[in-house]
Amino acid sequence: MIWTAGFRTAVISPYEQIQLTEPRGFADQTVRQVLHMAGGGERLRVSLTNRYGRAPLTIAAARAATEHGQAGLTFDGAERLTIPPGEEAASDPIDLPVAPGADLLLSLYLPEETGLATYSHMPMETAHIVGGNHLTSPALPDAEQVEARFYVSGVDVLAPDDTAIAVAFGDSWFEGVGSTTGANNRSVDFLNRRLKRGWVVNQGIAGNRLLRDEVGEHALARFDHDVLSIPGLTHVLVHFGINDLGLPGMSGEPPATSDALIEGFKALAHRAHQADLKILAATIGPFAGAVYPGISTPEGLAARREVNDWIRTTDTFDAVFDVARAVENPEAPDYIDPALDSGDGMHLNDKGAQAMADAVNLETLAL
């Protein structure tokens, strides 16, 4: 048996200049979060993080619940935990079965002023926040609801030795922006429903870039932490480029060049192959209809076409999944098909997320 990732969620700093959601902190509050498990096992352990915190994080108590029961978490045998700034901690293993595709409820009681929280900012899931210690309360009817995850980076499960894991490493098109909140209709969720064996954990960050920090550390910087740290990993799926081409326009900067993106993708593939991983690359999705100012520019769209032509013809990757073709408007390929558009011209709705997942040839993702 091996410990491997049953759930992952990539985190960002609350102190970045580009903020797509509002950071927050806590004091004398319980935070209850839904973690949708990609994989399952008979035992589990939860990873908590203060990676971007500027003060020690005190967790007075933590509790996990699945359809098979609930249990308090301990850390080196103690209920109370303090995580120094920049650090992470894993709970002691607990005998609490959880199934692939099931939800795990994680409740944290934060007794002291935390400062701004390390968080996942657009996970298409809701955290429930209530004053005081309500770890054992079966329901939190008066809770504040916030679309984010706080202080959690993953759940490991004890799985058979031959369990194979893939990671979806990318931007909002993996994290799930545009899909229905709480419905588990991210592209990665649809992909997991197609798999007969193994599973894919989600390390998407909305706004994330291949070449430059913000939103989150850029792909080449976070590759070791968010990809290579996963035991049993065999494949990495990547979708990057939209934010390298679009985000600079919001601040009046030029978009990344096609040459720079191609070199970045080559570096990412080299890192994957050095680690004996197979890498599957997505073509860059269309974004000509983006409603956000400065995102869609002639230069950025031209670079997208150039990079996609390269992705489709290069032997740099082990396989390609042509997301752009799967979701584009056939009459205007720089635009998302209106039936698959979330409404902002830049993100996919539930049907679009399913089309993205269906673009993956499962023969190239043999887990």
pTM of the model: 0.97
How large is the average pLDDT for residues 92-110? 98
Cis peptide leading into residue 34 (ω within 30°)? no
Strands 44-49 and 152-159: antiparallel
pLDDT band at 106 (very low <50, low <70, confident <90, very high): very high
Mean pLDDT of all residues belonging to the chain: 97
How large is the average pLDDT for residues 257-262? 98
How large is the average pLDDT for residues 149-163? 96
User: How far apart are the C-alpha atoms of 39 and 6, rounded to whole Å?
Assistant: 4
pLDDT tens digits, 302-347: 999 999 999 999 999 999 999 999 999 999 999 999 999 999 999 9
Specify the pLDDT at position 367: 84
Specify the pLDDT at position 77: 98
* pLDDT over 70, % of the chain: 100
> Which three-class secondary structure string do you get for 292-338?
CCCCCCHHHHHHHHHHHHHHHHCCCCCEEECHHHHHEECCEEEEECH
Distance of CA 116 to the CA centre of its chain: 20
Question: Which candidate, 340, 301, 292, places its Cα nearest to that of 20?
Answer: 292
pLDDT tens digits, 122-131: 999 999 999 9
User: How far apart are the C-alpha atoms of 22 and 85, rounded to whole Å?
Assistant: 20
Specify the pLDDT at position 64: 98
Strands 152-159 and 119-120: unpaired
Q: Are 285 and 327 in contact (CB under 8 A)?
A: yes
User: How far apart are the C-alpha atoms of 217 and 35, rounded to whole Å?
Assistant: 23
Token couple for 193: 């429903």
30: Cβ–Cβ under 8 A, 6 or more apart, which residues?
A: 107, 108, 109, 110, 129, 130, 131, 132, 133, 134, 135, 137, 140
Check residue 227 and report its DSSP letter. I
Specify the pLDDT at position 295: 95
